[in-house]
A and B are shown apart, each in its own frame.
Chain A
Amino acid sequence: MKTSLFFIWKLELQRIFRDEGLLIFFLLVPLAYPLLYTFIYSGEVVRDVPTIAIDNDCSPLSRRFLRHVNATPDAEIVYYATNMGEAKELLRKRLAYGIIYLPKDFSNKLLSDQQAHVSLFCDMSGLLYYKSLLIACTDVSLAMNKELQISRMPDATSREAQVNATPIHYESIALFNPQAGFASFIIPAVLMLIIQQTMLLGAGLSAGTDRDRHQPMSNSSLVSLIGRALAYLTLYTATASYMLMVVPYLFDLPQLAELSSLLGFLFPYLLAVVFFSLACASFVPNREAAILMFVFTSLPLLFLSGISWPKTSIPIGWKIFSWLFPSTFGINGFVCINSMGGTPDEVKNPRIALWIQAIGYFLFAWWRMRKNNKKN
Chain B
Amino acid sequence: MNSLYYIKQTALREWYRMLHHPVYLWSIILPPLFCIIIFTSLMNAGLPTKLPAGAVDEDDSPMSRHILHTLDAFEYTHVIAHYPTFSEARKAVQRGEIYGFYYLPKGTERQVLTGRQPTTSFYINYSYLVAASLLYEDMRTISELANGTIKETQLYAHGALPWETIPRLQPIVINTHPLGNPWLNYSVYLNNTILPGVLMLMIFLITIYSIGSEVKEKTANNWLQGANNHILPALIGKLLPQTALFTLMAWGCMVWLYCWLKFPCQCGISTMLFTSVLMVVAAQGFGIFLYSLFPWMRFAMSVASLWGVISFSISGFTFPTMAMNPSLQALGYLFPLRHYYLIYVNNALNGYDISYAALPYICLLIFTLLPLPMMKRFHNAVTQYKYIE
Contact = CB atoms under 8 A, between A and B. Distances in A.
A332 B23 CA distance: 33
B261 interface: no
B81 to A, nearest CB: 13
Interface of B: 23, 27, 31, 34-35, 38-39, 41-45, 48-52, 90-91, 93-96, 99-100, 108, 112, 115-133, 136, 139-140, 143-144, 146-147, 150-151, 154, 164, 166-168, 170-181, 184, 186, 189, 194, 197-198, 201-202, 205-206, 209, 212-213, 216, 297-299, 301-302, 305-306, 308-310, 312-314, 316-320, 322-325, 328, 341-342, 345-346, 349-350, 352-353, 356, 389
B43 to A, nearest CB: 6
A313 B164 CA distance: 41
Interface residues of A, number: 117
B172 A46 contact: no
Contact of B350 (A92, A181, A304, A339): A92
Given A110-B171, A177-B125, 14 more contacts: A24-B302, A43-B319, A149-B151, A168-B147, A170-B147, A172-B121, A176-B127, A185-B126, A295-B308, A300-B34, A309-B48, A310-B51, A312-B52, A313-B51
Given A126-B317, A288-B213, A292-B205, A33 B306 contact: yes
Contact of B93 (A42, A126, A175, A315): A175
Contact of B99 (A113, A118, A307, A310): A310
B117 A115 contact: no
A126 to B, nearest CB: 5
Contact of B126 (A124, A180, A286, A293): A180
Contacts of B312: 299
B337 to A, nearest CB: 12
Given A170-B121, A307-B128, A121 B95 contact: no
Given A21-B302, A120-B176, A180-B126, A296 B201 contact: yes
Nearest to B102: A170
A361 to B, nearest CB: 21
A118 B122 contact: no
B172 A116 contact: yes
Contacts of B310: 36-37, 40
Given A175-B100, A288-B301, A310-B128, A118 B186 contact: no
Name B's interface SS.
helix
Contact of B173 (A117, A291, A307, A339): A117
Contacts of B323: 43-47, 128
B126 A162 contact: no
B127 A312 contact: no
Contacts of B175: 117-120
Given A177-B129, A291-B205, A300-B39, A171 B119 contact: yes
A169 B119 contact: yes
Contacts of B116: 163
Given A168-B120, A318-B38, A318-B41, A120 B184 contact: no
A175 B124 contact: yes
Contacts of B322: 46, 49-50
Contacts of B173: 115-118, 141
Nearest to A314: B42
Interface string A93-120: 1100000000000000010011111111
Nearest to A197: B309
Contact of A288 (B95, B174, B181, B297): B297
A117 B194 CA distance: 37
A309 B43 contact: yes
B298 A167 contact: no
A304 B175 CA distance: 35
A354 B133 CA distance: 30
A300 B35 contact: yes
A40 B324 contact: yes
Interface in A150-181: 152, 160, 162-178, 180-181
A175 B101 CA distance: 11
A116 B173 CA distance: 6
A184 interface: yes
Given A24-B302, A346-B95, A113 B320 contact: no
Given A45-B323, A125-B349, A299-B312, A172 B124 contact: yes
A46 B320 contact: yes
Contacts, number: 323
Nearest to A115: B167
Contacts of B178: 122, 124, 130
A250 to B, nearest CB: 15
A46 B318 CA distance: 11
A72 B180 CA distance: 26
A242 B164 CA distance: 63
Interface stretch (A5-13, A131-139, A216-224, A266-274): A131-139
7 contacts: A40-B324, A46-B320, A170-B119, A170-B121, A172-B139, A308-B128, A346-B94
A137 B128 CA distance: 24
Interface centre among B216, B318, B342 (most CB of A within 10 A): B318
A286 B217 CA distance: 12
Given A292-B23, A300-B39, A308-B130, A116 B186 contact: no
A36 B291 CA distance: 23
A127 interface: yes
Contacts of B305: 291, 295
Nearest to B176: A120
Nearest to B130: A308
A124 B308 contact: no
B309 A122 contact: no
A129 interface: yes
A94 B357 CA distance: 10
Given A113-B167, A115-B166, A176-B125, A93 B117 contact: no
Contacts of B126: 174-178, 180-181, 184-185
